């Protein structure tokens, strides 16, 4: 005798169908609840509609929004949305950063005394226009985000090259120094907030290593090893607004793509951008003034100076007319802080360190 399975009542079957249909979107409903951070909820929604995780990470880094400390519900919602480990780690790092104080005034960028004037005499001039310092305070906030990853090469018989940091200059003034953690190590971007006056501004990148040469008899002789990226960024500030300059300089041993990508954004709208431009670090020319300073200090021999001077570029050639800051002034200021000035000196709040 055969036994037929009992038929499921129609109401129960309909209820089961509804439950099964609701399973794939359970994480979206969880993210929409009040128990999940609003930034995490937006991330989950983007993942639900198929936005690529790397684009979501770029949005998180450039949006200016910061999640609070991630709760268990936040992590569960992200896991249910199949967020990759890198995205969750980026959110964890961002949530751990101290938020900027909304009422704290942003200091003006550093200035240098005009030639022939004494420091503190009130004769300080803007390095871009020669006008009184502080004009930039009347205009626009610029947040610069810098991600720097690079591998170092070898000298001679597989001797590793000492690591060199990425330096960022705006209109001849030092803005930020970023240390690479290698070409594959995970790291969030360094963020610098400053103020720029209306008009055109020039941004240049260098790789620098300022080190005492202990192999020579000259005491405290500093070798200034500085090379310059050929890329010139000319960015325009117009009227009161919030601007973002996002730069990624990534040179990996595992890709043939050019290393620099950047975006210039005004009040959330992109004004200009480029992807995978610039030359690899091995092709950057030396900075002539730094070679001359190393030779004059006794840090390098004449034959090495002559070798570096081949094809070197001068500091003045990096900037448009009107920039009066000399490289010697920059080196003197950097040397006062062992070539790693603190955040107050650069007139910024560095949330990335």
Nearest to 186 by CA among 277, 93, 60, 82: 93
pLDDT per position as a tens digit, 71-120: 888 888 888 888 888 788 888 877 776 655 444 444 444 433 333 333 33
- What does each of the 353 residues of the chain score in pLDDT, given as a tens digit? 444 444 444 444 444 443 434 434 444 444 444 578 888 888 888 888 777 887 777 777 777 677 888 888 888 888 888 888 878 888 887 777 665 544 444 444 443 333 333 333 332 333 333 333 334 446 888 999 988 887 665 444 554 556 788 899 999 999 888 887 665 555 677 888 888 999 999 999 999 989 887 655 556 788 999 999 999 999 999 888 899 999 988 876 566 788 889 999 999 899 999 988 888 888 899 999 999 999 998 888 899 999 999 999 999 999 999 898 999 999 988 888 888 776 545 433 333 33
pLDDT at 110: 41
pLDDT at 221: 85
Residue 138, helix vs strand vs coil: helix
pLDDT at 336: 85
Cβ contact 26:36 at 8 Å: no
Helix (H) or strand (E) holding 277: strand 269-277
Do residues 228 and 284 touch, judged by C-beta distance below 8 A?
yes
Residue 334: name the closest of 324, 323, 346 by CA: 346
Neighbouring residues of 232: CB distance < 8 A, sequence distance ≥ 6: 202, 203, 204, 318
Indicate the domain borders of the chain: 12-96, 112-350
Cα distance between residue 16 and residue 12, in whole Å: 6
Tell me what pLDDT residue 153 has: 56
Q: For tokens 């979501």, name the residue.
A: 56
Amino acid 255: pLDDT: 63
What are the angstrom distances between the C-alpha of 8 and each of 12, 22, 50, 209, 259? 7, 20, 37, 76, 62
φ, ψ for residue 105 (rounded to 5)?
Answer: -70, 145
Asked if residues 161 and 153 have their Cβ atoms less than 8 Å apart, the reply is: yes
C-alpha to C-alpha distance for 309 and 285, rounded to whole angstroms: 9
| Adjacent-strand bridge partners of 176 | 168
Closest CA to 200 of 155, 170, 241, 244: 170
pLDDT of residue 126: 34
Give the predicted TM-score (pTM) of the model.
0.59
CB atoms within 10 A of CB 20: 9
In the prediction, which pLDDT does 20 show? 38
């Amino acid at each position: 005798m055969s036994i037929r399975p009992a038929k499921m009542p129609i109401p129960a079957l309909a209820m089961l169908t509804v439950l099964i249909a609701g399973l794939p979107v359970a994480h979206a409903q969880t993210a929409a609840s009040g128990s999940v951070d609003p930034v995490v909820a937006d991330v989950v929604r983007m993942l639900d509609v198929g936005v690529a995780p790397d684009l979501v990470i770029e949005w998180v880094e450039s949006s200016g929004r910061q999640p609070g400390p991630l709760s268990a519900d936040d992590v569960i919602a992200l896991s249910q949305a199949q967020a990759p480990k890198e995205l969750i780690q980026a959110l964890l790092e961002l949530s751990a950063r101290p938020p900027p104080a909304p009422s704290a005034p942003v200091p003006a960028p550093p200035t240098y005394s005009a030639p022939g004037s004494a420091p503190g005499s009130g004769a300080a001039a803007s390095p871009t226009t020669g006008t009184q310092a502080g004009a930039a305070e009347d205009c626009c906030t610029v947040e610069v985000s810098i991600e720097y990853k690079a591998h170092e090469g070898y000298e001679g018989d597989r001797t590793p090259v000492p690591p060199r940091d990425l330096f960022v200059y705006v209109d001849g003034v030092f803005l930020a120094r970023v240390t690479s953690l290698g070409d594959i190590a995970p790291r969030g971007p360094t963020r610098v907030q400053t103020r720029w006056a209306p008009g055109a501004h020039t941004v240049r990148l260098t790789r620098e290593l300022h080190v005492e040469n202990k192999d020579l008899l000259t005491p405290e002789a500093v070798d200034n090893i500085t090379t310059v990226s050929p890329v010139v960024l000319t960015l325009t500030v117009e009227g009161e607004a919030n601007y973002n300059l996002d730069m990624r300089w990534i040179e990996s041993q595992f890709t043939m793509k050019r290393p620099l990508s950047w975006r210039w954004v005004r009040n959330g709208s992109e004004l200009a951008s480029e992807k995978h431009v610039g030359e690899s670090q091995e092709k950057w020319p030396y900075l002539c003034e730094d070679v001359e300073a190393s030779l004059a200090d006794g840090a390098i021999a004449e034959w090495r100076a002559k070798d570096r001077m081949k094809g070197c570029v001068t500091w003045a050639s990096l900037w448009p007319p009107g920039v009066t800051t000399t490289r010697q002034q920059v080196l003197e200021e950097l040397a006062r802080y062992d070539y790693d000035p603190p955040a107050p000196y650069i007139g910024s709040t560095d949330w990335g360190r």
